[in-house]
Amino acid sequence: QVQLVESGGGLVQAGGSLRLSCAASGRTFSSYAMGWFRQAPGKEREFVAAISWSGGHTYYADSVKGRFTISRDNAKNTVYLQMNSLKPEETAVYYCAGDPSRGSYSSPIAYDYWGQGTQVTVSS
């Protein structure tokens, strides 16, 4: 079993930056890939970024490429999402997810474990 706890959300002006963190406990952290998703009110949960177990491979939604960076520190059991040049339409609850054992890293249904989410609000 894996427990995931996100932190780092908040209110930021358009064009600003935030760094989200997700601390994991339970299974050996370096044994599984991790992802970040977001969900705005009334919308489906959407893929943002993912990272392989070693950190050697990263994947991004087209909408965030060049602005967001996913990374992980396996010694600290933590995955990060650095978000730059934020836009108001990126206001959402951001979730970290662990171990896409049931399919594609970009599909929410593939992941076995989820955090509780952290709110990110981008003001215009």
Residue range 75-102, pLDDT digits in tens: 999 999 999 999 999 999 999 999 999 8
Residue 33 main-chain phi, psi, to 5 deg = -75, 160
What is the predicted pLDDT for the residue at 82? 98
Mean pLDDT calculated for residue range 46-59 = 96
* CA 24 – CA 38 distance, rounded (Å): 18
- What is the three-class DSSP state of 21? strand
User: How much of the chain is in helix, strand and coil states, percent to nearest 5?
Assistant: 5, 50, 45
pLDDT at 69: 98
Residues contacting 48, CB < 8 A, separation 6+: 35, 36, 37, 38, 60, 61, 64, 68, 81, 94
Residues β-bridged to residue 10: 120
Mean pLDDT, to the nearest integer, of 24-40?
94
pLDDT value of position 86: 98
Residues 6+ apart with CB under 8 A from 75: none
Instruction: Identify the pLDDT of residue 27.
Output: 85
